[in-house]
Amino acid sequence: MFINKSMTKNVITIGPDAGIEEARNLMEKNGIRHLPVVLENFKLVGIVTDRDIRSAEPSCVLPEAEIKAELERISRLKVKDIMTPDPVSISPANTLGDALVLMKKIKVGAFPVVDQEGKLKGIISIRDLMRAFINVLGLEEPGALLGIIVENRVGQMKKIVDAISEEGVSFGSILVAKHSDEDKRLVFPYLLTSNVARVKRKLKDSGFDLLDPMEWTLDQLPKR
């Protein structure tokens, strides 16, 4: 659940006085888009992204002479000239949920992870969060999803779990999602079985409504 379990620990970093060319090469070679900028004591001072580099480069539609002059000028620029200083960072003790919510708010692709002294400990990217939630959803384990519509009151989940457990089926995960009707909830058990027909019959016999898969919805778009 904590960031330090899901972050990349061997971070590729760069110093503030390195050239842009070096930053670009590091990103290309390692297939990454974010380079935390650190001092020798690993204190985080900024972050430079592939977008920062592209914004600094001359437009490819300029006349060749101008491109050449610009490149000449850019070659003298240093990482500290184009980086985002003091970027939003997150602590190793923060949770994946914190990172998700923060990423939605700040709209960046990665957070440097720093300790209380401001030293870099790792980096967590949107890809790390995706991987974590693929695990949570059990998407790569063989199983099948069911969609059940329930009244929004205490005790419903127990009945579902009991009914499924009586069939001897194990759970990969259970998601609960909001329904457009506030008195209802959608429950999505991910079952580690191919034999869902029997479980479905059992749930129906226990009085649950199964939702048409084409009506399944895990996400509600923000209201405008």
For 137, other C-beta atoms within 10 Å of its C-beta total 16
Scan for tokens 């991910």, then name that residue: 190
Nearer of residues 43 and 201 to another protein, judged by Cβ: 201
Write each residue from 171 to 210 as x if it is in contact with another protein (CB under 8 A), else as -, in one continuous string: ---------------------xxxxxxx-x----------
3-state secondary structure of 72: helix
Q: Is 214 in the site for another protein (CB under 8 A)?
A: yes
Nearer of residues 11 and 146 to another protein, judged by Cβ: 146
Q: Write out the H or E segment, with its range, that includes residue 165.
A: helix 156-166
Q: CB-side exposure of 49: number of CA atoms within 13 Å?
A: 13
Q: Pick the piece of the chain touching another protein (CB under 8 A) from 8-16, 46-54, 67-75, 162-170.
A: 162-170
Contact 196/146 with Cβ under 8 angstroms? yes
3-state secondary structure of 24: helix
Amino acid at 114: V
Considering only 75, 170, 217, 220, the residue that binds another protein (CB under 8 A) is 170
Nearer of residues 24 and 200 to another protein, judged by Cβ: 200
Q: Is 213 in the site for another protein (CB under 8 A)?
A: yes
Considering only 11, 99, 164, 169, the residue that binds another protein (CB under 8 A) is 169
Closest approach, Cβ 194 to another protein, in A, equals 4
Those residues with Cβ within 8 angstroms of residue 73's Cβ, 6 or more apart along the chain or in another chain: none
Q: Is 217 in the site for another protein (CB under 8 A)?
A: no
Q: Is 139 in the site for another protein (CB under 8 A)?
A: yes
